[in-house]
Structure 1
Amino acid sequence: MISPQLFGKYILIDKVAVGGMAEIYKAKALGLGGFEKTLAIKKILPHFAENDEFVTMFIDEAKIAGQLNHANIVQIFDLGEINGDYFIAMEYVYGRDLRASLRMAEKKGKPFSIEQAVYIIIETLKALDFAHRKKDSKNRDLNIIHRDISPQNILISFEGEVKLTDFGIAKATSKASQTQAGVLKGKFAYMSPEQASGKRLDQRSDLFSVGILLYELLTGTRLFLAKTDFATLELVREAKVERPSKFNRKIPNALDRIVLKALKKKPEQRYQHALDFQEDLTRFLYSSSTFSLDKLNLAAYMQDLFAETIREDQERLKEENRVMTEFLRQIEAERRQQAIELAANPRTPAPQSWEGSPVLPAVGEESDEGSESAYSETPPRPSFLRQTTTAFLLSLLVTLLFFLGREGYSYLNRTASLSIDTEPTGAQVFLNKQRKGRTPLYNLQIPTRMHHLVHIEKNGYETQHFKLAPKKRMKIEKTIHLTQTPEHGSAEIESDPPGAEIFLDGKLQPEKTPVRLDRLEAGRRYALQIRYPGYLPFQETIEVGKGEERKIRARLRSAPPKPEKALSRSVSPPPRPRKRASSHQAFGRINIQANPWAQVFIDDKKVGNTPITDHRLSVGPHTIRLYHPIFKKERVFQVAIREGKNEEITWDFVR
């Protein structure tokens, strides 16, 4: 059921998708003269909005994608917070993603043709080439890596446009949030071998993922697909790829060679740049008299594939028009009532809901003006919102001035605009001790003729504060560089001889000396013990301060030889031989995976971050604990390891 709701200056029309961490709405932005733009609003789910690191990652997505103005990349129009809801306003693409398109093609028995597959990948590579080569305002490379090239993130409009979206886990030099080493992000079946192994990535990783998409489009089969995530990751790491023509005999040898080059296991053997990959596919497409394609061909295919869906959407649009017309009438009536109430008490501040709200046109007339939307719903229709005439606006303005009176108008004119951003983003902004949102914060309206105190707070950074005394209509823009206040220290530990085991508060650490232990809590005392076979243990209580890098060098002393037992003068008969105890100790293995990732503790000892593969454990019961430090969630499992057997644990922290 369509149920519109005001959301700042936007009107949310209908929820179109819900993911693990965010939800997406179809929305409209309205303006003067009947201006109307259909767009998509992506909102963080409420239980993630209080998570500083997730909010920072969300802001990073908007800041990265917002710099990428390209026809093949979904455009970002706005980023902000309304009543604690963080949102991104982005281009609305009327169509379907590649995953839904592949499923519908399989269901109807109408697979993508070779030329359609190649065209979709060429358009995707155009987007990646632009993103990979993007520079900042100082002409420095941003080094953007998408890291999640998958069918769900390739949108195909019913007009034949191909768009890359979702830079939610993209990596860029300017990002405020950082990825932990060994943490896997992305969809397993579309990762590169180095990504599946948790290694450092460069832009060639994205090109391998594009190669997987091309393979799937050409053959209609998933390249890396297994029963479990662990098995899928193993297939990706091995990267054994058969010629796609084995599954589709229509594929020429020239195209086989392009696909296999993109899917080389070693990055240095693949295409080094998206443009190289794109040019090879373009040459293939246009060098053959058999293959040719443009977006009109793809549009016709998509409209045929989703013909029933489009007809249903047309009926839904009629209902949407009716509901929206009634909704706007109600809003207009409420605002007229507010004007009347303000006239009765002119010293009462203007209703806050007016700030940032859409400019509502009159309802009841039709206009012949064209749509301003990035994509018009198919087929184009005359908008019910393009109705306002200049005469009506002037009369409405006169009416408002009459009701508001001199004092009311003077009040509305006594504000200044404040915009604040921080490096890094995601800091909380307080105005006169009242929380106003997180940075970046745009066009915050503040009264003039008074002093204001602004506080900027972010965990791990020094609080910033400053005073403002704005004049009317003043536009204030500030960018504040936050100074980090480390709440942790580190310790570099060396031993002679090296290779010694380290125990911290009795817990064995995964690395041996020499090693650097990071993120030690400042001011906390730790019991340090260093052990090496044949040497006496080294013991010390250590404490580090904020930001301190302490160095510890332990020279281990050889253990004294054990004294031999004195021989008895009386010769006793030799003891009866005892049955020798078996020295064989049985082992099994365990694989552990979590979404999106987790720290892994086995029997209270940290062994690393997921994925944990083929980890050897002794036969018997063990306690496995998964902990996600961002979500502050954990899950405990009891497992029984059997000799020679593999056990598997998978847990989803976002379900």
Structure 2
Amino acid sequence: MTMDYEYCPNCFAKIHGETVCPYCGCDEFERHNLLSLPVNALLRGRYMTGVILGSGGFGITYKAMDRKRRKLCAVKEYVPLGYSVRSNDGITLTSTNREKEEIYEYGKNKFMAEANLLRNLDHIPSVVNIFDSFLENGTAYFVMEYIDGITLGRLRAQSENGRLPFETAYGIIHQIAFCLHEVHTKANIFHRDISPENIMISKDDHVKLIDFGTAKYIHGQKSQNLSVILKPGYAPPEQYSSAGKQGEYTDVYALAATFYFVLTGKKVPAAPDRLGGNAVIEPLENILGTEYEELSVVLERALAIKVNERTQTMKDFMADIERCREHLRTTPIDPDDPSVPPEKTGNTLEQKIRPYLDGLAGSMKGYRYFVPVNTMISIGRLPSNSIVISSRVVGRKHLEIFYDTYNQMFYMMDNHSVNGTYVDGKRCMPSAIIPVQPGSIVSVANACVFQLGVIYE
């Protein structure tokens, strides 16, 4: 159903039928996508739809207002392109014809099953939180957190020369790789649509992988029939064939292609062009310098056309890029070399400071969390913490961390935890605020270990 009165589709302020919101200036009231729900449609009696955040081959995502919680959210609607049509009421969705009804229903059921699986993965930091799913209007929906930020694609476009600094790109890609490793191994599903546009960076530097609504089970043939939309440059060869067997290596290819693109500003040639010998991947060292030769080899293996020659798992891909990062850290750079970009030498007039925690062991292993500057964050087992560690040995609000840009120093305080917080092997005194240097190793009870660090961009 739709509301009798109109709300702004962006800020959801009451605007009494005006065509331009007087509060935020939004004028996106008319839908140009014939398959989309109208503005102010009310789902499950509580979720009011707003502007379209994105659309693809399997669904449409709307910005929404949860009227029960009075909080912004995002709603994903199952709308398989070519298999569905909106009824005359503008709300109900049906299959295009009886021949396609079986596939439509199969996809809808899988959409719901995967939403329910992903709701159980909220402990993985880079998986977007899904907190509701339901059937309505002849289709399926799931409700997830609204991320106020930009896509990795836009972040790259806004960067100098259309390229991200290696450390920035590495931090984001490594987090997504760890996220996918967890999803592959614990939920037995894979994404199949990884690209810079499906990776979000929030305003507080949290990295999230979105658009899991297109994900499919690793097994099952009917799901292959729904693979109607591909992204050239990111989709591997096996996604171009309904008979192509897909697995973890399918996501490895797409993530490696994403890494290559944000580092170089150049897309990997489409898989069919590479198969036909009409295009090749330009080596990284030709674009970024000889110190990237090892990473170039790693990405070429992850982007292998033949599945049996490709990096098979996200765990292997993470190990490969970790090794390359260590190599790049130890490669000497001449700061007076004019061919070396300023972000490598530190000779920039203005630098952005990005403090972070690098997970070394335990539940944070392989995950990088960027700490907002001059802002207190907390670590503990309660969901209200900035970093949630689901372990009984961790306190409800175990410790707090702050990065001071003026002193360029971390400050930490243990909140009277039973099992303690340790810095470089020494237990912290409870309730005492202590300065901690970047590079220090911090242990939260025995549940996780991380290293403090800072990136200057």
| Equivalent residue, structure 2, for 1:47 | 85
Match of 1:191 among 235, 246, 251: 235
Q: Does 1:93 align with 2:147?
A: yes
Count of equivalent residues: 289
Taking CA–CA contacts closer than 8 Å with sequence separation of 6 or more, which of the two structures ends up with the larger relative contact order?
1
Shift, 1:125, TM fit: 0.6
Amino acid at match of 2:230: G
Amino acid at match of 1:234: D
| Equivalent residue, structure 1, for 2:48 | 12
Q: Does 1:75 align with 2:75?
A: no
| Equivalent residue, structure 2, for 1:221 | 266
Is the 2:78–2:111 contact (alpha carbons within 8 Å) kept by the matching residues of 1? Answer: no
Q: Does 1:259 align with 2:299?
A: yes
Amino acid at match of 1:243: P
1:246–1:301 CA distance, 2 compared to 1 (3 A): farther
Distance 2:78 2:228 in 1: 21
Shift, 1:257, TM fit: 2.3
How does 1:14-413 map onto structure 2 within 5 Å?
Answer: 14-19=50-55, 22-29=59-66, 36-44=70-78, 47=85, 49-51=93-95, 52=101, 53-68=103-118, 69=121, 70-84=124-138, 86-105=140-159, 109=161, 111-135=163-187, 142=188, 144-172=189-217, 177-180=222-225, 185-198=229-242, 199-224=244-269, 233-235=272-274, 238=277, 240-249=280-289, 251-286=291-326, 288=329
Distance 2:372 2:106 in 1: 37
Amino acid at match of 1:2: C
Distance 2:371 2:162 in 1: 9
1:254–1:71 CA distance, 2 compared to 1 (3 A): same
Shift, 1:57, TM fit: 1.8
Distance 1:40 1:168 in 2: 12
| Equivalent residue, structure 1, for 2:452 | none
Distance 1:19 1:302 in 2: 31
Is the 2:77–2:140 contact (alpha carbons within 8 Å) kept by the matching residues of 1? Answer: yes
Q: Scaled by the length of structure 1, what TM-score is found?
A: 0.39
Shift, 1:234, TM fit: 2.3
Unaligned runs of 5+ in 1: 136-141, 226-231, 304-370, 376-655
How does 1:635-650 map onto structure 2 within 5 Å?
Answer: none
Is the 2:61–2:76 contact (alpha carbons within 8 Å) kept by the matching residues of 1? Answer: yes
Is the 1:216–1:222 contact (alpha carbons within 8 Å) kept by the matching residues of 2? Answer: yes
Amino acid at match of 1:188: P
The 4+ residue runs of structure 1 with deviation greater than 6 A are 290-293, 296-303, 371-375
Shift, 1:246, TM fit: 0.8
Is the 1:147–1:205 contact (alpha carbons within 8 Å) kept by the matching residues of 2? Answer: yes
Is the 1:98–1:155 contact (alpha carbons within 8 Å) kept by the matching residues of 2? Answer: yes
Distance 1:134 1:30 in 2: 33
Shift, 1:64, TM fit: 1.7
Distance 1:132 1:98 in 2: 22
Distance 1:235 1:250 in 2: 24
1:174–1:233 CA distance, 2 compared to 1 (3 A): closer
Distance 2:291 2:355 in 1: 19
Distance 2:139 2:154 in 1: 29
Shift, 1:148, TM fit: 1.5
Distance 1:193 1:176 in 2: 17
Shift, 1:60, TM fit: 1.8
Is the 2:354–2:371 contact (alpha carbons within 8 Å) kept by the matching residues of 1? Answer: no
Distance 1:12 1:251 in 2: 51
Distance 1:235 1:110 in 2: 24
1:157–1:71 CA distance, 2 compared to 1 (3 A): same
Deviations 1:301-330 (A, max 9, x none): 999xxxxxxxxxxxxxxxxxxxxxxxxxxx
Amino acid at match of 2:55: G
| Equivalent residue, structure 2, for 1:622 | none
| Equivalent residue, structure 2, for 1:546 | none
Deviations 1:447-500 (A, max 9, x none): xxxxxxxxxxxxxxxxxxxxxxxxxxxxxxxxxxxxxxxxxxxxxxxxxxxxxx
CA-based RMSD of the aligned residues comes to 3.9
Distance 2:372 2:288 in 1: 22
Shift, 1:207, TM fit: 0.8
Give SS of 1:50's match.
Answer: strand
1:30–1:262 CA distance, 2 compared to 1 (3 A): same
Shift, 1:12, TM fit: 2.1
Deviations 1:589-638 (A, max 9, x none): xxxxxxxxxxxxxxxxxxxxxxxxxxxxxxxxxxxxxxxxxxxxxxxxxx
Is the 1:36–1:373 contact (alpha carbons within 8 Å) kept by the matching residues of 2? Answer: no
Amino acid at match of 2:158: M
1:201–1:11 CA distance, 2 compared to 1 (3 A): closer
Deviations 1:216-241 (A, max 9, x none): 1111111216xxxxxx6323565732
Q: Does 1:2 align with 2:18?
A: no
Is the 2:50–2:62 contact (alpha carbons within 8 Å) kept by the matching residues of 1? Answer: yes
Unaligned runs of 5+ in 2: 1-6, 13-39, 87-92, 96-100, 332-343, 345-352, 359-367, 374-382, 388-457
Amino acid at match of 1:193: P
Distance 2:324 2:59 in 1: 40
Is the 1:196–1:236 contact (alpha carbons within 8 Å) kept by the matching residues of 2? Answer: no
Distance 1:28 1:62 in 2: 21
Give SS of 1:96's match.
Answer: strand
Distance 2:249 2:266 in 1: 23
Is the 1:26–1:38 contact (alpha carbons within 8 Å) kept by the matching residues of 2? Answer: yes
The structure that is strand-richer by fraction is 1
Q: Scaled by the length of structure 2, what TM-score is found?
A: 0.54
Shift, 1:122, TM fit: 0.6
Distance 2:8 2:113 in 1: 31
1:196–1:175 CA distance, 2 compared to 1 (3 A): closer
Give SS of 2:211's match.
Answer: coil
Distance 2:47 2:296 in 1: 48
Give SS of 1:27's match.
Answer: strand
Give SS of 2:75's match.
Answer: strand
Distance 1:237 1:285 in 2: 33
Give SS of 1:40's match.
Answer: strand
1:41–1:237 CA distance, 2 compared to 1 (3 A): farther
